[in-house]
Amino acid sequence: MNAYRYEQNPLVTPADVKPFHEGYEVIGAFNAGIATYNDEVLMLLRVAERPVSPEPGIVLAPVYDPDTKAVELVRLRTDDERYDFSDPRVVRDVTRSSGFAYLTSLSYIRIARSRDGRHFTIDDKPFVYPSDRHETYGIEDPRVTQIGDTYYIYFSAVSPVGIGESMVSTKDFETVTHHGMIFCPDNKDVLIFPERVNGKYYALHRPTVKSIGEPGIWIAESDNLLHWGNHRHLAGLREGMWDGGRIGGGAVPLRTERGWLELYHGATKEHRYCMGALLLDLNDPAKVIARSDKPILEPEADYEKNGFFRDVVFSCGAFVEGDIVKMYYGVADTSMACAELSLREILDSLTYL
């Protein structure tokens, strides 16, 4: 698969983003949802800010307090045996078999704007910031679905009670309406289709299951975008393949002549994140027509291989212009990049079921 990576890559890096919080450093400006508005390409960046540690051996975990509307810092000692600090992203509770106790950074959404899709100017302030008790550990990995003149923006809402998917909407990228949590924990990687299919809205989502099952992609239906049901399992992991460890929806589904094209991420059990594609029936998106046996994009460039969390390409939004798919994607949990791929080449590369 040919991929034309922009010469300007990475398009936005943490160094380009001024911290919003005093005494913090920006460690990530990545996994951005994508929209076009007023002839501009907008990247809704996930900006991750980390409190600068006051001394070696101390990790500060930021927690938003919805009552005071301020961020409290939980001070943890790296020699505290109750915790495991080996993953730079999280602090684990050693008594729990899975999951984490704290995050080492606080994420929120900030807009970067561009006329040409390659050179971006970053807003001074957050666009969507944690605002309630389900978002005290931050909001992550936004996607944007435009329906008419309304942009629906949904993201992982992280707090000690779980990771769910919450949604806001805007018409102007200034004023925001909050719609609460649309998928309850444990869930992320939601992708709302840009139009109704046979009268219903559809969304992909990725439950993280504990009792039985694996992190696979599901599909749900809605009449109003707020309430979701008729959940059905759509695509699972494939042992030994590029998507054998973890998968989740990526970009908002693209309407093509052959079906709904979903650019999704898959990771191996060794946490190497690639992008591939699912093709879903135009009239029944619960039906998988084809799937990538090999990735359409994998971490090869230095900025994709090295960073806060290495070997990651992770798209949250793409456009189609003629035969060109402009896929924006987060790299190494650090920065943003863009690559152009041929739509026909992607469709021809799929294995049809």
Summarize as ranges the residues that interact with its own copies (CB under 8 A). Answer: 97-101, 133-134, 137, 158-164, 179-187, 205, 207-214, 216, 218, 220-224, 226-233, 236
Contact 272, 314 (CB under 8 A): no
Give the type of residue at 76.
Answer: L
Q: Which is nearer to its own copies, 62 or 295 (by Cβ)?
A: 62
| Token digits of residue 155 | 């993201």
For the bound state, the minimum distance from the C-beta of residue 123 to its own copies, rounded and expressed in Å, comes to 29
> Which one, 50 or 134, has the nearer CB to its own copies?
134
Q: Tell me the closest approach of the beta carbon of residue 279 to its own copies, in angstroms.
A: 21
Q: How far is the CB of 217 from its own copies (least distance, A)?
A: 11
Nearer to its own copies, 156 or 292 (CB): 156
As measured in angstroms, the least distance from the Cβ of 246 to its own copies is: 12
Residue 122 backbone phi and psi in degrees, to 5:
-100, 130
Least Cβ distance, residue 314 to its own copies (angstroms): 17
Pick 75 or 210: Cβ nearer its own copies: 210
Cis peptide before 302 (omega within 30 of 0): no
Q: Which is nearer to its own copies, 70 or 209 (CB)?
A: 209
In 3D, which of 141, 144, 138, 134 has the Cα closest to residue 155?
Answer: 141
> What one-character-per-residue DSSP string does 145-160 give?
EEETTEEEEEEEEEET
| Token couple for 126 | 């957050």
Q: Minimum distance from CB of 178 to its own copies (Å)?
A: 10
Q: Are 333 and 9 in contact (CB under 8 A)?
A: no
**Of 30 and 228, CB closest to its own copies:** 228
User: What CA–CA distances, in Å, run from 245 to 184, 188, 206, 270, 338?
Assistant: 23, 16, 13, 8, 25
Contact residues for 48 (Cβ-Cβ < 8 A; gap 6+): 26, 27, 28, 29, 30, 105, 106, 107, 138
- Residue closer to its own copies (CB basis): 15 or 226: 226
Nearer to its own copies, 23 or 213 (CB): 213
CB-neighbour burial class of residue 181 (10 A; exposed 0-12, middle 13-18, buried 19+): middle
Residues in the chain: 353
Q: Min. distance of Cβ 160 from its own copies in angstroms?
A: 6
Sign of CA dihedral 244, 318, 336, 85: negative
CB of 243 to its own copies, least distance (A): 16
Q: Which is nearer to its own copies, 65 or 223 (CB)?
A: 223
Minimum distance of its own copies from residue 325's CB (angstroms): 29
50/105 Cα distance (integer angstroms): 4
Please state the closest distance from residue 219 (CB atom) to its own copies, in A.
10
- b/e sequence 88-101, b meaning 16+ C-beta within 10 Å: eebbbeeeeeeebb
Closest to its own copies by CB, 101 vs 327, is: 101
Nearest to 45 by CA among 190, 187, 172, 144: 144
Task: Supply 160's token pair.
Answer: 């000690």
For residue 192, CA distances in Å to 106, 155, 216, 259 come to 25, 11, 16, 15
